[in-house]
Amino acid sequence: MNQPATTPAESLPETVTVLIIGAGPGGICAGIQLERAGVRDFVIVEKAGGVGGTWWHNRYPGAECDVQSHLYSFSFAPKADWTRPYAGQVEIREYVEHVARTHGILPYCRFNQEVQSLRWDEPAALWRIRMADGRRVVARTVISAIGMFNDIAVPDLPGLDDFAGTMFHTACWQDGHDLADRRVALIGSAASAVQTAPEIAPIVAQLDLYQRTPQWVLPKQDTPFTEAELENFRAHPEAERALRDEIYRRLEAAVLFQDAQMLVEAEMAARRNIEHVDDPALRERLTPDWHYGCRRPLLSNKYYPMFNRGNVRLIDQGIERIVAEGVIVAGGELRPADTIILATGFETTRYLAALDVTGRDAVRIRDAWRDGAVAYRGITTAGFPNLFMLYGPNTNNNSLITMLELEVDYVVRQIRRIEDEQLAWVDVQPAAMTAYNETLQQDIACISVWGSDCRGYYRAPSGRIVTQCPYTMTMYEAILTAPDPQNYESVARRSVTTSMRSPRS
């Protein structure tokens, strides 16, 4: 059951030292570490009704993580009783809620509060935030924890609004909609489709899976833990830590896709997985023509066997248009459907530009990022003082939770500096941001599989890769822990005379 809001929206403060946007893992981690650092004047605003972030919203059947649970968890909040190596959505959301509750963060949360816009007030050196319901908040510092899986992608298909049946996105799953004996069109063939399709195939009358690009789907070592294994984790915390360290080492060795033998073996494993499809012609249509690693790797033991069902059909000739009765595919055939499910992912390259953000000199972040999202160390962008991002541009790698912990440590250090030195604001220097990103893009160019043209979500419309991090976590940690005050412009608070107040107009 989804957690209800525990703090009324009416208690949203008008002024606050730090405003955190998002109560997913990043926002919760930021709150915990801020409190530990002695910064307690903060609030977490969340548009959903509870904590969890992407694990609150993405509750489609089969939703689960593709990083093993013992690493996809906070180092300061180990969990000994994960039921299986790769946890599902419910278990992960409950874990994030447990961490928030046991660390005393829920009182800082304001649920059902969606941020509409942020505007930097230059004379006052403050962020003025407008909520979707019209409420206004003033904050000295803002931490965006909305990440990259925030703004859903709706395909530009002719006639999408003409469909007479039920239609929804996997990220907005309609819990009350019964799929039993329905004719379902599932549009998409990436992560959410690979997870959802095998779960609904046994109950629907007909499942048409619309594939634009075949995926490499590897087998998943996901046998549930036995009670003896769970008892060992409970009784011996060092065993849980050892497993976590082992998973970390394996990912560190693989995330940069530089080991040629590993790439060959992974592709071979995926090809063996495809062999579960009985029809050789269908196997051919499900086999990618691009090398493993060019797109996000996927894991499933259920996806390929699903295609042996008589009620499942792969549609890969393209969609001509949507009509009231269903989908017309290229060539004119009408495929009737009662329900259309859009498994089309997210606008992953937008990041904070999913919100209306205006920085110094009235520059909007959408304009600053016209050629693609860019940030210094993946966390802050020039011209937007006292604004920090978690899971920002070019930080997608390894375990998201590991990445978030490193980023939160960096952000809290910056906020402590702002408070300790009584600074009005800090803003990364454009030259420092440019230098960092020139090196980063050079390092990305060295990862050949990412340079292939396989129509993945890594690139902005300009063609620049803005999602992937070309560093291991060990390398990235070294980057973030290197002192860098010289790369920031700052202004003393005493030079700013305007008081911190919420405007009435």
Residues 124 and 28 in one domain: yes
pLDDT at residue number 4? 42
pLDDT at residue number 495? 87
Residues 145 and 39 in one domain: yes
pLDDT at residue number 261? 95
What CATH number has the domain bearing residue 207?
3.50.50.60
Residue range 372-397, pLDDT digits in tens: 999 999 999 999 999 999 999 999 99
Residue type, 39: V
What's the whole-number mean pLDDT along residues 216-220?
97
Q: What percent of the chain has pLDDT above 70?
A: 96
Name, in order, each residue with C-beta under 8 angstroms of 442's C-beta and a sequence gap of 6 or more. Answer: none
Using 50, 70 and 90 to split pLDDT, how confident is the model at 308? Answer: very high
233 inside domain: no
Residues 306 and 269 in one domain: yes
What are φ and ψ of residue 166, in 5° steps? -95, 135
237 inside domain: no
What's the whole-number mean pLDDT along residues 66-74?
97
245 inside domain: no
State yes or no: pLDDT of 162 exceeds 70.
yes
Residue that finishes a domain, picked among 320, 342, 364: 342
pLDDT at residue number 503? 38
Using 50, 70 and 90 to split pLDDT, how confident is the model at 121? Answer: very high
240 inside domain: no
Residue range 312-331, pLDDT digits in tens: 999 999 999 999 999 999 99
pLDDT at residue number 150? 84
State yes or no: pLDDT of 496 exceeds 50.
yes
Q: What percent of the chain has pLDDT above 90?
A: 92
Return d(Cα 19, Cα 139) in angstroms, integer: 6
Residues 433 and 488 in one domain: yes
Residues 120 and 68 in one domain: yes
Residue that finishes a domain, picked among 318, 342, 366: 342
253 inside domain: no
Using 50, 70 and 90 to split pLDDT, how confident is the model at 455? Answer: confident
Return d(Cα 457, Cα 139) in angstroms, integer: 33
Residues 170 and 269 in one domain: yes
State yes or no: pLDDT of 10 exceeds 80.
no
pLDDT at residue number 505? 27
Using 50, 70 and 90 to split pLDDT, how confident is the model at 7? Answer: low
State yes or no: pLDDT of 499 exceeds 70.
no
pLDDT at residue number 111? 97
Residues 313 and 369 in one domain: no
State yes or no: pLDDT of 439 exceeds 60.
yes
Residue range 122-132, pLDDT digits in tens: 999 999 999 99
Complete DSSP assignment for 95-143: HHHHHHHHTT-GGGEE-S--EEEEEEETTTTEEEEEETTS-EEEEEEEE
Instruction: Yes or no: say if 186 and 343 are a contact pair by the CB < 8 Å rule.
Output: yes
Per-residue tokens: 253:
């060795």
This prediction's pTM:
0.94
Using 50, 70 and 90 to split pLDDT, how confident is the model at 151? Answer: confident
Residues 308 and 171 in one domain: yes
Split into its structural domains, the chain has a count of 2
Residues 83 and 114 in one domain: yes
Residues 375 and 452 in one domain: yes
Name, in order, each residue with C-beta under 8 angstroms of 21's C-beta and a sequence gap of 6 or more. Answer: 27, 44, 45, 115, 142, 143, 144, 145, 146, 355
What's the whole-number mean pLDDT along residues 480-504?
80
241 inside domain: no
Q: Among the ranges 46-50, 145-149, 293-297, 450-454, which has the highest mean pLDDT value?
A: 46-50
> Which structural domain range is residue 137 located in?
9-151+347-495
pLDDT at residue number 497? 60
4 inside domain: no
Residues 95 and 164 in one domain: no
Using 50, 70 and 90 to split pLDDT, how confident is the model at 64? Answer: very high
State yes or no: pLDDT of 502 exceeds 60.
no
Residues 406 and 265 in one domain: no
248 inside domain: no
Using 50, 70 and 90 to split pLDDT, how confident is the model at 498? Answer: low
Residue that finishes a domain, picked among 342, 357, 373: 342
Instruction: Yes or no: say if 26 and 150 are a contact pair by the CB < 8 Å rule.
Output: no
What's the whole-number mean pLDDT along residues 79-99?
97
Using 50, 70 and 90 to split pLDDT, how confident is the model at 453? Answer: confident
